[in-house]
Amino acid sequence: MINNKKVVVIMPAYNAEKTLEKTYNEIYQNFVDEIILVDDFSSDKTKEISKQLNITTIVHEKNLGYGGNQKSCYRAALKAGADIVIMLHPDYQYTPKLIPAIASMMAFDEYDAVIASRMLGNSALKGGMPLYKFISNRFLTEFQNFVISQKLSEYHTGFRGFTRKVLENLPLEDCSDDFIFDNQMLALLFYNDYKIGEISCPTKYFKEASSINFARSCKYGLEVLGVSIKYRLAKMGFGIKLFNKEGRKLDLDKELKYY
């Protein structure tokens, strides 16, 4: 625990057998109360390795997508009594060593959510981020900052943390089951006036690290533009339902299959 807050690390996993153990070994166990991995119908041995590492393991009987995986992760973390939830991809692209710092920013009630930014400190290209991804990341971030009227350094990192209050109150069931889930969630945080903190994070790109292909990146980029425009229209009072505060919360009664 940190400041008497239970810290749970969640791992949305898909075919992560080559990197899971390395990621797990760099988590500072003294600062984490529980680790939960949700395997999204992998075709490799991700769930077996997770179980061998004594990680609480949940398996999907079919692929639910990146956003669908996260919803299961958050349900499981809330059921486990988490006060602070840190999402860490098991592909070793982000360093687990930052978990204590991220958790502390929320444990002392300074922030409701924290993102680990690859753009702070100019580490993205040094870590091997493809140039087209870097350029699109910067363009989309600047576009969203302008439309949403915020000043984040990055909207597209997969290393982030949330308080229990955030996960219980946001209408996450209304969000997509695809990759755009991450972006919708940040928009919801801003829309509901939660405080988001940032921390600089080095990143590593290598063969085994997960990454969406160019076509899906283009689809994601177009969806990001859509989220931003819907956010602005909602703020202007046009009745956009995606960001309705009365939307569907996470269904904590939904069954999770523990492995």
pLDDT digits (tens, 9 = 90+) for 210-244: 667 888 889 999 999 999 999 999 888 876 665 55
Tell me, yes or no, whether 251 lies in a domain: no
- Cα–Cα distance measured from residue 10 to residue 70, given in angstroms and rounded to the nearest whole number: 8
Q: Tell me, yes or no, whether 145 lies in a domain.
A: no
The CATH number covering residue 38 comes to 3.90.550.10
Q: Is residue 219 part of a domain?
A: no
Structure tokens that stand for 97 in this block = 């060593």
CA angle 181-185-190, nearest 5°?
Answer: 155
User: Residue 39: which domain range?
Assistant: 7-139+153-211
Residues 6+ apart with CB under 8 A from 67: 175, 176, 177, 178, 179, 180, 181, 182
In-domain check, residue 247? no
Q: Is residue 183 part of a domain?
A: yes
Q: pLDDT, tens digit, for every residue of 130-160?
A: 898 899 999 999 999 999 999 999 999 999 9
Number of domains in the chain: 1
In a domain, 216, yes or no: no
Instruction: Tell me the pTM.
Output: 0.94
Does 147 reside within a domain? no
167 within a domain of the structure (yes/no): yes
- Give 215's contacts (C-beta < 8 A, 6+ positions apart): none
